[in-house]
């Protein structure tokens, strides 16, 4: 501790008593989190002080920037890339495989997407878990390999490295065991600290609302979206946040290898419509606009449609997979490489009608019970999950099932079927399908 620094306990006391910390104080605390200068007890006390008293916008920006700068911040200028560095982040959900489609799609339009993703959390599926269902895919390449693949393919989706925002890794682990996860400044700085360490020119956030969302209420989701856009922009990155519906799975499926198959169907043009395509197209268009790759929404949409129809987006995905050790012929022969469950069973409704509503979180937990991750050390069965899930408003009966279960055993399928029937309400009433894109918040970098 230098002569100009204060005792950590005095900084924690100041925040505990409702004070506003200066930038230097926040950086001192974050330095102590990352280098071990603060004990676990002190980190927990700081997190609780923020949880109870909140932070001003300026404090949240300072915390985000300090977490970003706690490790190496990626720089791309030396690679002389002919386009902007762009990325997307989602607050998570069920059947949310947007990243897998958006990354190569934006790359095909001239962007460069160094996407650092995470694993599943609770009922939500993780992008890394999905990619690891591809044999040989390396989620932890060396930094030179990662950088060169971004240059060559335009996209690389990997896991967080040890030198990328290390303060966040420790702070999050302590938040998880001190009941301080649900703090807006801590959530925002955690998300953005990692993302902005990737040296982005622009970011788009997909903030979910509904029964499968991370935030408990619509109002909380709106506040999170607005805060992320504001803080990221004040930290120097053009940011757009979309508020999107998660009152039902985004794709008509959930499960790791199953979602990779759906990714390939969309990229190769087999899937031509649906909620997943609509959300991904809107998010990608926002990135093209923010990255100055299109001068109007219409031009962005036209460029996206062109690269999808031509196969250019699919080719970028294939190049990324092969470049990270996966099979070169995944697009052509997915069943050769992706695991398939031995038990596949349709679940029919107890009575005919229309799907009225869903407990999307319960559907995600059904996938977890089939073979997902219950603890951080659990192995995941990539083959299991749900497919052809009926959407809100769909007619279901003895011929049209609620979904198809992919399970390892008949007993697992029985348990999942019971959860599925309890999670989906079927009735004869007319249904209003929830609006998919509920709000858009744009912020220029300041």
What is the set of active-site residues?
87-90, 127, 175, 190, 194-195
CA dist 105 and 293 (Å) reads: 13
CA dist 263 and 217 (Å) reads: 29
- Whose tokens are 């990270």? That residue is 324
- Whose tokens are 């997909």? That residue is 206
Q: Where are the beta strands (DSSP E) in 147-293?
A: 155-159, 202-209, 238-245
Q: Whose CA is closest to 115, among 206, 12, 228, 242?
A: 206
Q: Whose CA is closest to 130, among 258, 251, 249?
A: 258
- Compute, in degrees rounded to 10, the torsion defined by CA atoms 29, 33, 35, 39: 100
Q: What are phi and psi of 126, to 5 degrees?
A: -105, 140
The kind and range of the H/E element at 193 are: helix 184-196
Q: Output the six-digit token pair for 210.
A: 């509904």
Q: What residues contact residue 107 under an 8 Å CB cut-off, 6+ apart?
A: 113, 153, 154, 155, 313, 316
Judge whether 267 and 304 are in contact, CB under 8 Å: no
CA dist 116 and 45 (Å) reads: 29
CA dist 8 and 296 (Å) reads: 50
CA dist 7 and 2 (Å) reads: 10
CA dist 212 and 216 (Å) reads: 9
CA dist 157 and 98 (Å) reads: 12
Judge whether 86 and 291 are in contact, CB under 8 Å: yes
Q: Whose CA is closest to 49, among 7, 16, 5?
A: 16
Q: What are phi and psi of 393, to 5 degrees?
A: 95, -15
Q: Output the six-digit token pair for 19.
A: 């004070």
């Amino acid at each position: 501790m230098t002569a100009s620094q204060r005792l950590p306990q005095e900084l924690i006391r100041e925040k505990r008593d409702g004070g506003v910390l200066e930038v230097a104080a926040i950086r001192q605390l974050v330095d102590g989190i990352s280098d071990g200068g603060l004990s676990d007890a002190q980190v927990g006390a700081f997190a609780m002080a923020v949880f109870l008293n909140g932070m001003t916008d300026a404090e949240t920006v300072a915390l985000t920037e300090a977490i970003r700068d706690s490790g190496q911040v990626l720089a791309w200028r030396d690679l002389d890339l002919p386009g902007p560095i762009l990325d997307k982040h989602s607050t998570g959900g069920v059947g949310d495989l947007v990243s897998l489609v958006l990354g190569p799609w934006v790359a095909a339009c001239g962007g460069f997407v160094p996407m650092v993703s995470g694993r599943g959390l609770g009922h939500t599926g993780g992008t890394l878990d999905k990619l690891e269902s591809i044999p040989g895919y390396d989620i932890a390449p060396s930094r030179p390999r990662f950088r060169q693949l971004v240059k060559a393919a335009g996209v690389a989706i990997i896991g967080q490295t040890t030198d990328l925002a290390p303060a966040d890794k420790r702070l999050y682990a302590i938040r998880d065991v001190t009941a301080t996860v649900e703090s807006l400044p801590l959530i925002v700085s955690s998300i953005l600290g990692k993302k902005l360490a990737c040296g982005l020119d622009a970011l788009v956030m997909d903030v979910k609302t509904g029964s499968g969302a991370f935030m408990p209420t619509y109002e909380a989701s709106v506040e999170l979206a607005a805060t992320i856009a504001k803080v990221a922009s004040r930290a120097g990155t053009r940011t757009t946040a979309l508020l999107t519906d998660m009152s039902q799975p985004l794709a008509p499926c959930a499960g790791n290898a199953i979602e990779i198959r759906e990714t390939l169907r969309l990229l190769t043009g087999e899937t031509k419509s649906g909620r997943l395509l609509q959300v991904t197209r809107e998010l990608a268009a926002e990135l093209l606009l923010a990255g100055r790759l299109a001068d109007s929404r219409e031009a962005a949409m036209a460029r996206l449609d062109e690269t999808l129809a031509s196969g250019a987006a699919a080719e970028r995905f294939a190049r990324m997979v092969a470049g990270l050790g996966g099979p070169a012929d995944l697009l052509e022969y997915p069943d050769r490489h992706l695991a398939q469950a031995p038990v596949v069973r349709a679940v029919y409704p107890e009575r005919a009608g229309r799907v009225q509503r869903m407990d999307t979180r319960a559907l995600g937990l059904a996938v977890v019970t089939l073979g997902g991750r219950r603890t951080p050390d659990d192995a995941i069965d990539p083959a299991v999950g749900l497919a052809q899930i009926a959407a809100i408003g769909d007619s279901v009966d003895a011929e049209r099932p609620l979904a198809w279960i992919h399970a390892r055993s008949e007993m697992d399928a029985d348990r999942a079927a019971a959860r599925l029937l309890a999670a989906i309400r079927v009735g004869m009433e007319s249904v209003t399908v929830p609006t998919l894109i509920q709000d858009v918040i744009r912020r220029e970098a300041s």
